[in-house]
Amino acid sequence: MRPSRLAVLVSGTGRSLDNLADCVRRGELAVELALVLSDRPGVGALERAERLGIESLVVPYRDAGGVEPFGRRVFEELEARDIDLVVLAGFLRLLRIPATWLGRVLNIHPALLPAFGGKGFHGDRVHAAVLESGVRETGCTVHFVDNQYDHGPVVLQRRVAVREGDTVHDLAARVFEEEKLALPEAIRSVLAGEATFDGTGQGRGTP
């Protein structure tokens, strides 16, 4: 039986792509990294994909004509390549999920959703908001994607203490170390059928 074919959707540097490739190489993740898809040209993740020998594709959001046609184009490309599971890793566009793909699209977010999520909350903006709020704990969340930003059933979360004197860079670095563990764990859980999108807004897994 062939390994599950994974597509990684990106808008930026692709650090999580490198992490997944490392996990595959070490035998910790039994998938084929089959496609890297970006919504914009010239991002670092596309260079990483070339270095890793993974097919890459740009579907420019600006040329798509809006959210709905963009989503249709993305999923046409995924289906044409027999993709089994999709991971949004630093992908900044709202993606409309066809009903047949619910439960097959994951996102990783650098906070403990539902806190510090939604449109505009990405990257360092999230960590800056965490520090400004004064909370003492943050982390990362892997969740199934529905048709809202940072929404959908949670697969798992990993927690990080906010330390006195933390900068945005300090906090981001520690959260990313947990993301490196959370994303492959969530992928394994979904592929094993241990976490599912059951259609009622509740995930089964380890939040």
pLDDT at 207 over 70: no
* pLDDT class of 205 with cuts at 50, 70, 90: very low
Whether 1-96 and 109-141+148-194 share one fold: the answer is yes
> In this structure, which CATH number among 3.30.2130.30, 2.102.10.10, 3.40.225.10, 3.40.50.170 belongs to the domain 109-141+148-194?
3.40.50.170
- Report the distance separating Cα 97 and Cα 104, nearest Å: 9
Give pLDDT, residue 197.
84
In this structure, are residues 50 and 104 in contact, taking their beta carbons and an 8 Å threshold? no
- The one catalytic residue in 109, 122, 127, 143 is 109
For residue 148, report the phi and psi dihedrals to the nearest 5 degrees: -130, 155
Architecture of domain 1-96: 3-Layer(aba) Sandwich (3.40)
pLDDT tens digit sequence for 83-141: 999 999 989 999 999 999 999 999 999 999 999 998 889 889 999 999 999 999 999 99
Q: Tell me, yes or no, if 109 is annotated catalytic.
A: yes
Question: How far from chain centre, in Å, is Cα 170?
Answer: 21
**Residue 192 β-bridge partners:** none
β-pairing verdict for 154-161 and 105-109 = unpaired
Which two structure tokens, joined as six digits, stand for 206?
């380890």
Give pLDDT, residue 200.
36
pLDDT tens digit sequence for 15-57: 999 999 999 999 999 999 999 999 999 999 999 999 999 999 9
Q: Indicate the domain borders of the chain.
A: 1-96, 109-141+148-194
